[in-house]
Structure 1
């Protein structure tokens, strides 16, 4: 009887540990993305200045880069995340040049605190699709704002790149399903 009871206790302990492990792998980012951050913020803002446009854009690029870094960290170098992560850095660099040209302070990168780690590759592709759709919508709006032509050109170029990323993630999602 003593052995049986300790065996039950062990199974309960194992069950609790397994439950805690599963819950920890599902827990998303430490903090939700603020309503006024990245694409989400830009799509709600009716008064977009150059400073706001650049800020929303770089925040969203930071989020995308952090999202793909989390995927690579969890699943290893996985196509297309590795390639698109490199592209996100080029997008950030293009935006940084505009910040510098117009003497606007570059926002700090807080994206990792808002970035959940997906539990499956399918979830990673779904997040990639959703993120790129929001990114495209944001760049369409920013390109229509009252901003200098060089900023509009960069926004349109980044929108086109996001369309390519979207196609890659949709293809990956089909393969993962």
Structure 2
């Protein structure tokens, strides 16, 4: 038998049950400030990646501007940016477009361009999956990240198809 600070008396069995319910089953709640920081990090990371992808397609289009698929993908990246900018506005995230996008170089051959695009889409799929798994994200943010991951899967299919066609 144990006497608690508040004067209650508990048997050892009740004490064990008390501690189990209080510790093992209590899900930790992320503080609001941490959730906001996490939300900001996730959205900004995704947004900056979309800008980098768009810049990558720009560099490919400098050399292969007659390939419609690259033009379509650049437009798609622009649509992704619009989606993410909507989240920036909705959640009042401080963000400026003046970050430096690393210069991308044009691949030497069309096959190298397709390989680079395949690699980039695989990286995007992994990134979007990891970002969507973060704790404390609102459902609409998770939905956008999942949508972008699904679109990257579709892009991957197209780029693999072109790569395998030998065109």
TM-score tier, shorter chain, comes to 0.7 to 0.9
Asked if 1:96 is matched to 2:90, the reply is no
Deviation per residue, 1:17-71 (Å, 9 max, x gap)? xxxxxxxxxxxxxxxxxxxxxxxxxxxxxxx811111111011111111111111
Alignment partner of 1:122 is 2:104? no
Partner of 2:124: 135
Counting matched residue pairs gives 129
Provide the secondary structure at the position in 1 that maps to 2:68.
coil
* Residues 129, 166 of structure 1: 8 Å contact kept: yes
Contact 1:121-1:176 within 8 A present in 2 as well = no
Query: In the aligned structure 2, how far is the partner of 1:120 from the partner of 1:139?
Result: 28
Contact kept in structure 2, 1:96 and 1:106, CA below 8 Å: no
Q: Deviations over 1:97-147 (max 9, x none)?
A: 000111112242522x33222111111111100110010001111111121
For residue 139 of structure 2, what is the aligned residue in structure 1? 149
Structure having the higher Rg? 2
1:58 corresponds to which residue? 47
2:163 alignment partner, one of 164, 168, 173: 173
TM-score by length of structure 1 reads: 0.69
- Distance (Å, rounded) in 1 between the aligned partners of 2:142 and 2:107: 33
Give the superposed CA RMSD: 1.5
Q: Among 142, 149, 153, which residue is 1:163 paired with?
A: 153
Task: Please say if 1:68 is aligned against 2:57.
Answer: yes
TM-score of the two chains, using structure 2 as the length reference: 0.73
Q: Which aligned runs of 4 or more in structure 1 are off by greater than 6 angstroms?
A: none
- Name the structure, 1 or 2, with higher relative contact order (CA <8 Å, separation 6+): 1
Structure 2 unaligned blocks of 5 or more:
1-36
